[in-house]
């Protein structure tokens, strides 16, 4: 792995672009991030890529488009190793939460090597605070991958925290297909899986909604398919990306929360769901930390 760029703010997020296999087709991004509201010794976040580009090509994500296959488990872990190597071993051993998010370029469930990386992760890093986090649109072709993930969650991580984030984005099937153009597991299937997954550890499965204007979010539909004991709701803005602009998508969350967002959150609460509203830090957009942007910049598509 060869680091070819680094940008950002060490107080918030630094985005690396790395070249693998000595070839510009194999560029990925990864991120060394911290939560500015939480002391550095409490939380450290590394966000890694799992594919060279992404075959899904979601309407709001710059990682899609070009796709050149999956990273190997060692290539995935080398991103974590690079971030960790920049700090003392003491930091890794003492940080309360060391989150490794499989959430940058690529759909993790479409790369079997992600499962190997998850198996190797706890033995590779002396990080008692390790929390793996997998973010997925849950392609229906990956059903066997999800069964194996469940087995790893149970047999490798036991009762330790393990975060699964399901990108739901809308409760309307047509809107989901427009935003995430790949055959996906249905909400009913995901609800059943969330119960099985959360039964093996302390964390609820997170149902992520990147709110886009005009894309329905109906808490009643969520409640029909998901059990609030096994799933929580996370609402974020739709990040400004080149692709979302091309697709005419606008965030449904502005600086001040519109009343309908407030009402959606109250309704989720009434139905028993924990709801997290995560606006993020506006600086993240200005440093280009949204998925796929840094690689596009290197390739000259952003000036
Ligand atoms: S959001 Fe995830 S699945 Fe969709 S294109 Fe981006 S990386 Fe791929």
Residues 6+ apart with CB under 8 A from 240: 251, 285, 290
Residues 156 and 252 in one domain: yes
210 lines ligand 1 (CB under 6 A): no
Question: Which residue range(s) make up the domain with 214?
Answer: 137-280
Q: Is 293 in the pocket of ligand 1 (CB under 6 A)?
A: no
Residue 166 in contact with ligand 1 by CB distance below 6 A = no
Quote the CA–CA distance of 252 and 230 in Å, as a whole number.
26
- Give the count of beta carbons closer than 10 Å to the beta carbon of residue 10: 11
Residue nearest to atom 3 of ligand 1 (CA): 107
Q: What is the pLDDT of residues 264-285, one digit of tens each?
A: 999 999 999 999 998 776 566 5
How far from 53 is each of 50, 70, 108, CA to CA, in Å? 9, 9, 12
SS3 216: coil
253 lines ligand 1 (CB under 6 A): no
Do residues 176 and 272 share a domain? yes
SS3 201: coil
Q: Say if residue 9 is in the same domain as residue 94.
A: yes
Total domains in the chain come to 2
Of 203, 252, 285, 268, the residue nearest 7 (C-alpha): 285
pLDDT band (50, 70, 90) for residue 171? very high
Q: Give me ligand 1 centre to Cα 22, in Å.
A: 24
Residues 236 and 179 in one domain: yes
Question: Is the minimum distance from the CB of 61 to ligand 1 under 6 angstroms?
Answer: yes
**13-27, 156-170, 241-255: which range is least confident on average?**
241-255
pLDDT of amino acid 146: 98
Phi, psi angles (nearest 5°) of residue 221: -65, -45
For residue 88, the domain's CATH number is 3.20.20.70
Predicted local distance difference test score (pLDDT) of residue 303: 43
Please tell me if the CB atom of residue 295 comes closer than 6 angstroms to any atom of ligand 1: no
Ligand 1: centre distance to CA 178 (Å) = 13
């Amino acid at each position: 792995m060869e680091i070819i760029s680094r940008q950002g703010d060490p107080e918030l997020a630094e985005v690396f672009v790395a070249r693998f296999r000595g070839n510009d087709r194999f560029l990925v991004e990864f991120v060394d991030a911290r939560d500015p509201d939480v002391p550095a010794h409490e939380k450290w976040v590394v966000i890694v890529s799992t594919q060279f580009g992404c075959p899904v090509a979601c309407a709001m994500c710059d990682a899609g488009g070009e796709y050149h296959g999956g990273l190997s488990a060692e290539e995935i872990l080398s991103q974590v190793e690079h971030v960790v190597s920049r700090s003392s071993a003491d930091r890794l051993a003492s940080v309360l939460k060391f989150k490794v998010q499989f959430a940058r370029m690529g759909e993790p469930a479409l790369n079997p090597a992600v499962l190997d990386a998850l198996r190797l992760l706890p033995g590779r890093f002396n990080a008692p605070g390790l929390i793996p986090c997998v973010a997925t649109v849950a392609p229906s072709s990956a059903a066997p991958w999800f069964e194996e993930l469940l087995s790893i969650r149970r047999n490798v991580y036991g009762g330790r925290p393990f975060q699964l984030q399901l990108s739901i984005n809308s409760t309307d099937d047509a809107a989901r297909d427009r935003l995430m153009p790949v055959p996906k597991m249905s909400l009913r299937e995901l609800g059943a899986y969330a119960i099985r997954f959360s039964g093996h550890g302390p964390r609820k499965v997170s149902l992520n909604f990147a709110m886009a204007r005009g894309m329905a979010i109906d808490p009643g539909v969520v409640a029909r398919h998901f059990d609030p004991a096994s799933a929580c709701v996370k609402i974020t803005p739709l990040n400004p990306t080149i692709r979302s602009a091309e697709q005419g998508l606008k965030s449904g969350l502005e600086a001040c929360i519109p009343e309908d967002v407030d009402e959606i959150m109250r309704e989720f609460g009434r139905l028993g769901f924990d709801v997290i509203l995560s606006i993020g830090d506006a600086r993240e957009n200005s440093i280009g930390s949204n998925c796929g942007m840094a690689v596009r910049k290197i390739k000259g598509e952003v000036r």
